[in-house]
Amino acid sequence: MKDLTLLMQRMGYTFQNQALLVNALTHSSYAHEHHRNGKDNERLEFLGDAVLGFVCAEYLFSLLSSQEGELTKVRASVVCEKALASYANTLELGDFLLLGHGEQTSGGNTRPSILSDAFEAVLAAVYLDGGMQAAKAFVMPFLEKEVASQRRRQFKDYKTLLQEIVQQNPGERLSYELVKEAGPDHQKRFTVEVHLNSNVVGTGVGRSKKEAEQQAAREALKWMGYDE
């Protein structure tokens, strides 16, 4: 196994009990070959999945004003096997895995399923070694980057689309009005109404006025019968 100091530097976390990290990096194939039954990373993976789910859900709840179905969809996409394997590759986790001979020779250290499981196990090891705050500090940069990336890819400019539709009818006037501002400075929530002439045709909530306006425009488009 490579020097774990390098891995801990990449993780931004130094273990008090490095045996936890070694356990997290031990695949069942290696444990079986070396007669270390029960010393693989599967139990840690189970715990890491739960920790990851909680941290991700809490983050998305505070970040997005979406309803439960949308939050569930976003959470699923940022903790799926593909996403977790990419987090593991950022750390070059595959270079540190303990694999059985068969897995090693068949490229197990690059297999997404093995990498994603190992990432969850490492997260659990951090949680057991340093607590929830340490676990959050380790995993949040990955979640924040992935969520931001997905939002950029999926973003639709609802305001522009609504404006283009309204302009097809000369004389119609579109305007946005901030009707509510709540919460502490670091966690503001803005509520905006979009008016078509004097009628409210949509209301949106967001962490910024621009986001609230986009959500209001989105609701107005639904009201007009435009499907996404």
Joined tokens for residue 166: 């309204």
Catalytic residue among 45, 49, 117, 129: 49
Joined tokens for residue 151: 């939002």
Q: Where are the beta strands (DSSP E) in 15-80?
A: none
Rounded Cα gap, residues 200 and 179, in angstroms: 12
CA distances from 19 to 91, 124, 132 (A): 19, 13, 19
Joined tokens for residue 65: 């004003």
181 catalytically annotated: no
Rounded Cα gap, residues 211 and 198, in angstroms: 22
120 catalytically annotated: yes
Q: Are 28 and 42 in contact (CB under 8 A)?
A: yes
Rounded Cα gap, residues 162 and 18, in angstroms: 56
Catalytic residue among 40, 45, 103, 120: 120
Joined tokens for residue 70: 């949308």
Give catalytic residue positions: 49, 120
